[in-house]
Structure 1
């Protein structure tokens, strides 16, 4: 190694000693020949160039992935297509970024080279807010933009059982308004909702009580329901809030209807 360094130093001194005496035209020609030779070598022998870059320390050694919670790590590795002795400059970053952003859980991503041998990837993942029960009772995770993240297997449904379950062809694109209203009013007893063709929601409280909300007024309808909730008899199965002036109730036919004495007793207890 010491012998190689000594030979290199002697060669460099020899070249520069005679280079300074060359005419300007010859210097320009020499630079042009060396430059064109480098370009042609890069074009026709790219693999050799990347092997050379790897030899001088520019091979990919470390990959940093930030923001990953649910994205498949093996999918990221496949997108990078790393092979032994692959240089950092051989990575097609736009192509890799496009592949990563098409992965199910990824909303957006950033990829950068960090010299001399690192690749940095930052992910922004999608957050599921509901489970959409689509055609043939197949279930899908939905994000806040109403797009499908992934289809759920029967084994995965238990994992996402606490999410709001929605039905209806246009339910995914309208679920954000409903979810915002539920969060704003701190309602945690609604676990299922159906979006109808008329453009409104039927929500189910404690899986049994159906509340028909007015069209385009999700928050207002839920506020009315909260104000009336303590006055609703237990054997009511449907509450219709579509009219702003009245409240219609449908009682369970299998349950006992409240008689006048029960209603008077209940109102008296409420007054006390």
Structure 2
């Protein structure tokens, strides 16, 4: 009775590997391992075994010193530290390999004040968090509501607005999206800007400014910056906003229209030479 040719079998597999090359065989082996793991994970026993193995691995890593002992947070100004720890899902003593930086980043970015976040594991024992918080820009009044907004016009959902009472007030639909641009423009004339008590968005096209809580300044839609500069120049030279003025219309490029009370019209000074200025009675 003849037996199988063992020498040829022993030589056959190495010869196959040599002919195909190691890199050709490895993908086949990898697919086999992944398939076996997948089949194991589909059963309750498999899931239990995998969880048990993961738990034992974390316990082992903790005994090796891979435990959170320090949580460094940069960029935090307003967000409560305990809220950050809850979003991280980690505290000192947590196995550092049990933390999920990607998941923690997503949780942090759901917090009201957090614009963006980055989370890193710095082995063996440190979690590093960098926050970019939202900067309060203005209060936005619309639809009977008063809300806090940031530079991008995004609402910051806070319940108590008292400490933000000194921020600029913008009013109307669309005001939030254009508030940063407006405030940058107003800042070019800081003395006059300090007297603006509210900015009202009109038709989501242009702005009316309330000055000294009494005077409405009508800015044009196309060239608000030049009109604002012209108004500031006239105020410095003629103090036109210190008269009994109700409305200042600077929408026309070659003139400025004042609407004043009849009694104030009698005592009004002559127009400035730096710009044609007309007055109308109300």
Fold conserved (TM > 0.5)? yes
Structure-1 separation of matches of 2:222 and 2:180: 13
Q: Secondary structure at the match of 1:45?
A: helix
Structure-1 separation of matches of 2:65 and 2:100: 19
Residue of structure 2 in register with 1:165 after alignment: 169
Structure-2 separation of matches of 1:196 and 1:152: 27
Which structure 1 segments of 5+ residues have no match? Answer: 1-24, 26-31
Residue of structure 1 in register with 2:247 after alignment: 238
Alignment of 1:110 with 2:118, yes or no, is yes
TM-score normalised according to structure 1 size: 0.74
**2:107 pairs with 91, 99, 102, which one?**
99
Residue of structure 2 in register with 1:90 after alignment: 98
Residue of structure 1 in register with 2:127 after alignment: 119
Tell me how many residue pairs correspond in the alignment.
224
**2:156 pairs with 149, 156, 162, which one?**
149
Structure-2 separation of matches of 1:84 and 1:181: 48
CA contact (8 A) 2:68 2:91 kept: no
Structure-1 separation of matches of 2:264 and 2:194: 28
Q: Secondary structure at the match of 2:157?
A: strand
Which structure 2 segments of 5+ residues have no match? Answer: 1-13, 15-28, 38-45, 274-282
Residue of structure 2 in register with 1:210 after alignment: 216
Alignment of 1:247 with 2:219, yes or no, is no
Alignment of 1:174 with 2:178, yes or no, is yes
Summarize the Cα distance change of 1:102–1:198 in structure 2 as closer, same or farther, 3 Å threshold.
closer
Structure-1 separation of matches of 2:159 and 2:189: 29
Structure-1 separation of matches of 2:64 and 2:204: 67
CA contact (8 A) 1:171 1:195 kept: yes
Q: Secondary structure at the match of 1:247?
A: strand
Residue of structure 2 in register with 1:18 after alignment: none
Q: Secondary structure at the match of 1:172?
A: helix
Structure-2 separation of matches of 1:79 and 1:178: 36
CA contact (8 A) 1:42 1:49 kept: no
**1:80 pairs with 67, 88, 91, which one?**
88
Q: Report the alpha carbon displacement of residue 114 of structure 1 after superposing the two structures with TM.
A: 1.4
Residue of structure 1 in register with 2:276 after alignment: none
Residue of structure 2 in register with 1:224 after alignment: 230
TM-score normalised according to structure 2 size: 0.72
Q: Report the alpha carbon displacement of residue 250 of structure 1 after superposing the two structures with TM.
A: 1.5
Structure-2 separation of matches of 1:225 and 1:212: 11
CA contact (8 A) 1:142 1:148 kept: yes
C-alpha RMSD of the superposition:
2.6
Structure-2 separation of matches of 1:216 and 1:92: 50
CA contact (8 A) 2:208 2:216 kept: yes
Q: Secondary structure at the match of 1:52?
A: helix
Q: Report the alpha carbon displacement of residue 151 of structure 1 after superposing the two structures with TM.
A: 3.8
Q: Report the alpha carbon displacement of residue 176 of structure 1 after superposing the two structures with TM.
A: 1.4
